[in-house]
Amino acid sequence: MRIVKLTEECKKDILKNLLKRSTGNYTQYEETVAQILDDVKKNGDKAIFEYTKKFDKFDLNELNIKVTREEIDAAYKEIDPEYIEVMKAAKENIADYHRKQLRNSWIDTKPDGSILGQRFTPIEIAGTYVPGGKAAYPSSVLMNIIPAKVAGVERIVMVTPPGKDGKVNPGTLVSADIAGVDEIYKVGGAQAIAALAYGTESIPKVDKITGPGNIFVALAKKAVYGNVGIDSLAGPSEIVVLADETANPRYVAADLLSQAEHDEMASAILITTSEELANNVSKEVEGFTNVLERKDIINASLENFGYILLADNMDDAIDAVNSIASEHLEILTKDPFQTMTKVKNAGAIFLGEYSSEPLGDYFAGPNHIIPTNGTSRFFSPLNVDDFVKKSSIICYSREGLEKVHDKIELFAKNEGLTAHANSIAVRFE
């Protein structure tokens, strides 16, 4: 891996390079996505069937679009029973973590009889997109569906592209069943997002769409936002490891490569104050890469978006961490908890040498659907709140309103909204 001295200029160049992966840099596909969305909105199932034939090479129709119970049962027979038990154990960890995020509605009463409060209610229908293609990720299925179940969503609809034979990856089906999905439809790409956003004869319109996908899926989610809710615009995976001289270079190298293997656009960055560690990690990365299966992808990822940044001091290193605002952050320092107190921007934070990033991907419980491309400055990992609506509750007595009515009328008149003022004033004529 390239070793670069951390300077302000270097940091700006790296941030600029990382932002090349943003959906905002793929505007050349927006017109195609818009056409697909409009077609599905107007023609429903007919458009869905045509796009599935075109892109997935499968003759989809109203009879085979929905995954049957028999197909799910058959999928269980194709999966190693031990793997199924691991998925079930992961489900319990994920559910337990997300249950702690539940919040209760509340009411606050005052002596004058006025009542204020907040009511939490789950959305009615959630839609989950699950990619197909080169790889299937049952862990992402669990991470999308379980928070919705914990939130109390009554109907969870999943869409995922079929293979040429019309089948869905068995791991995807089993994990969805374990998580508690209600319906699964064999549709992928931008057309699947359109179906969830607008509804078709076969697929119901949902209230919110979650789940990662390719650039066409991301642009489609961006386009339908407002008609439905979305979780975020997911970009390529990324990791930053913040380490000092106490870190084990072999562990650091292994953790960097765990993200670099995702795809050629993934980013893996080590920020350290130790030149010795930087050199040793670079050597370990080379050794691991030579024996790992996804060698070509890893090399492309590191060539495009991989760095070892050598900082003068830990304050400069932490400043770079906050500027990058990475999806995953590992802290491998002498006192990682103390170091963490200075971190402001990170999607998920892993502390200590036995908390490597794949622990969060698969088993620990926190959600692995995390903001990317610096958006952890203002987005959070997928959580129960993403599937809950909050309603304000307001109830004033005459006595309570009488004390403040003149103030409300004054406010309204100063904004030029005399009907607003009158709505209050008529109660005290």
Query: Rounded to an integer, what is the distance from CA 131 to the centroid of its chain?
Result: 13
> Alpha-carbon dihedral of residues 230, 46, 162, 30, nearest 10 degrees?
-50
Q: Tell me which residues are annotated as active site.
A: 327-328
- Contact assessment for residue 184 and residue 66, using Cβ atoms and an 8 Å cutoff: yes
> Which tokens hold the place of 268?
């893996």
- Contact assessment for residue 260 and residue 229, using Cβ atoms and an 8 Å cutoff: no
Which residue is associated with the tokens 């999928």? Answer: 75
Nearest-angstrom CA–CA distance, 254 and 248:
10
- Contact assessment for residue 198 and residue 41, using Cβ atoms and an 8 Å cutoff: yes
CB-based burial of residue 117 (10 Å sphere; 0-12 exposed, 13-18 middle, 19+ buried)? middle
DSSP state of 219: H
Can you tell me whether residue 119 is helix, strand or coil? strand
> Which tokens hold the place of 45?
């199932």
- Contact assessment for residue 186 and residue 160, using Cβ atoms and an 8 Å cutoff: yes
DSSP state of 292: S
Q: Is the dihedral of CA 168, 170, 173, 179 positive or negative?
A: negative
- Contact assessment for residue 272 and residue 264, using Cβ atoms and an 8 Å cutoff: no
Angstrom distances, CA of residue 413 to CA of 194, 408, 425, 428: 44, 9, 11, 17
What residues pair up with 208 in beta bridges, in sequence order?
126, 229
- Contact assessment for residue 160 and residue 214, using Cβ atoms and an 8 Å cutoff: no
